[in-house]
Chain A
Amino acid sequence: MDKNWATWWIVVVLSTVFTIVGLILRIRGWKND
């Protein structure tokens, strides 16, 4: 039964990582604007 919560947490964590990585990439490329 815990695999449901594990999956939910994985999606939540991956979404957070997606946001952080996207933000870092965007800010690193800032000087090119």
Chain B
Amino acid sequence: MIEASNIVKTLLAPDKSYALWAIVGIGLMLLVCITVGFLSRKQAKSFESFLSGHNDIGPIVTGLALGATWLSGWAALGMMGITYSFGWSGMWFAGIWTIVGIMPCLFFTGEKMQMYSQKFGAKTVSEALCIRFDSKVVQSLSALIMIFFMILYAVGQFKAGATIWYAVTKLPALWCLLISGVVVFIYMVVGGYTGTQWSLAIQGAILGIACFALGIVSLIFVGGPTALNMKLAAENPALINLIRDDLPKVGNAQLFSSPVGVLATLFIFLTMATGFPHNVARFVGMKKLNKKDFFLVTLMVFLVAGPPIFLNAITGLCSRAVFGQELLNINPWKGDLAAPFLAMVAGGKPLTILYVTGVFAAALSTLSAMIMVMAGNVTRDIIYIWRPQTSSSTLLKLTKVFIGIFLFIPFYWAFKNTPPYLPYLWDTLLLGWEVFLSFVQRSHFIGNELLLLGL
């Protein structure tokens, strides 16, 4: 692998021109989002319209936004690192179940949320649970649970942004992430739910195009499907196994080494997406749907969360075929460099900048959707519900303050003490399941919580 190590050495050398173009790519995306935020400011004048818009958002925007919130920085960056590190057996955990995860959210949970919003005026997911269980305690308790889990998950989004920024520019990520955080704050505070939803839709389109393009270019670069497998087998035949028998059957490798672990990946994706509060919240401000609208939402979700993510697994494999195990020696990023480095080698500047912007879009969309949910959790589901005499303008101001607070906490945490990412995933998948179960007819909130504690 002398050739691969030389390529990696070249990629690790600073190239200022990439930094310049990365600034242009990410800057353009942020500029469009902030413009959208200001265009939506009239829709965010009152506390209620700030939280949920005016029930007038169409199916294309909703579908793209749902795709964007479902796909996090991990989906656009970490998935490739999984198949890079483990070979084909990593495919199961690297997003191959993406559609099985997100479509039930659209078909069941999201549609229920839209109904609670339209018929009963629910402004948040927790408020829908309050209506569902006729309990203010449920509303506040579920809000606290959501905040606890989502704030952990939000750290991972800043971490993904930091990784991709360093990989491409070799510059420290602090300033890039700080500016991105400020822009997200502005478009959320100015545009409220409507501005955020439109920004999410734009980010969804970018990340879908970026991951799809990178997957296709990567496969062509390695010489096609057969050449890819031949190169992987030449390095290590275990890389082409669909289940890695050579790895330990228990522990972290279980998801790749045993049939039980592989089956578990299906349930991980199913439980995560189906009820993630920031996914479900995409339906809060949606207009009343007809059949054609529902077809369009489904198509948009499929286009963003389907083929691009199926190809992410292949991109990671192509990276392994090109770089061998060289990237595993680069601490602390290791496999996370698989996709950005391959983009630089296989696609040059245009593809790299598209991909970097795509990863930022994926990270910022998930982050902003979660923050909007958390801020509403505090003001609508905790303060307003127990102190209804609080004025609308105070609640509106408080929501904006909490957007800032919930942006700052994960930002600070990501830089001060970057914890490993995977445990958050386990935690949040339980959260997704909680919301889904709560929408199931005849379910009981306390019963759901006890079941999750058991899990």
Interface residues of A (CB under 8 A from B): 1-5, 7-8, 11-12, 15-16, 18-19, 22-23, 26-27, 30, 33
Contact = CB atoms under 8 A, between A and B. Distances in A.
A4 B306 contact: no
A18 B100 contact: yes
Nearest to A30: B291
Contacts of B104: 22
Interface-centre pick from A4, A12, A22 (highest chain B CB count, 10 A): A4
Interface of B: 88, 91, 96-100, 103-104, 107, 111, 115, 225-226, 229-230, 233, 240, 242, 291, 294-295, 298, 302, 306-307, 310, 313-314
A8 B91 contact: yes
30 contacts: A1-B233, A2-B226, A3-B242, A4-B88, A7-B91, A8-B91, A8-B314, A11-B97, A12-B307, A12-B310, A15-B98, A15-B306, A16-B302, A18-B100, A18-B103, A19-B99, A19-B103, A19-B306, A22-B103, A22-B107, A22-B298, A23-B295, A26-B107, A26-B111, A27-B291, A27-B294, A27-B295, A30-B291, A30-B294, A33-B115
Given A15-B100, A19-B103, A26-B107, A8 B229 contact: no
B239 to A, nearest CB: 10
A1 B233 CA distance: 9
Contacts of B98: 15
A-B CB proximity, top 5 nearest: A15-B99, A1-B229, A4-B88, A23-B298, A27-B291
Contacts of A23: 107, 294-295, 298
Given A27-B294, A27-B295, A16 B306 contact: yes
Contacts, number: 60
Nearest to A27: B291
Nearest to B104: A22
Contact of A8 (B100, B230, B298, B313): B313
A19 B298 contact: yes
B96 A8 contact: yes
B274 to A, nearest CB: 12
Nearest to B307: A12
B96 A11 contact: yes
Tell me if A's interface is mostly helix, strand, loop or mixed.
helix
Given A1-B229, A23-B298, 6 more contacts: A4-B240, A7-B242, A15-B99, A16-B306, A19-B103, A19-B298
B109 to A, nearest CB: 13
B59 to A, nearest CB: 12
A33 B107 CA distance: 13
A3 B89 CA distance: 12
Contacts of A7: 91, 242
A4 B313 contact: no
Contacts of A18: 99-100, 103
A25 to B, nearest CB: 8
Contacts of B230: 1
Nearest to B298: A23
Contacts of A19: 99, 103, 298, 302, 306
A27 to B, nearest CB: 5
A3 B295 CA distance: 33
A3 B96 CA distance: 16
A27 B295 CA distance: 8
A9 B229 CA distance: 15
Given A5-B225, A8-B313, A18-B100, A26 B306 contact: no
Nearest to B96: A11
Nearest to A11: B96
B91 A26 contact: no
A26 B99 contact: no
Contacts of B313: 8
Contacts of A26: 107, 111, 294
A3 to B, nearest CB: 7
B315 to A, nearest CB: 13
Contacts of A22: 103-104, 107, 298
B166 to A, nearest CB: 31
B73 to A, nearest CB: 22
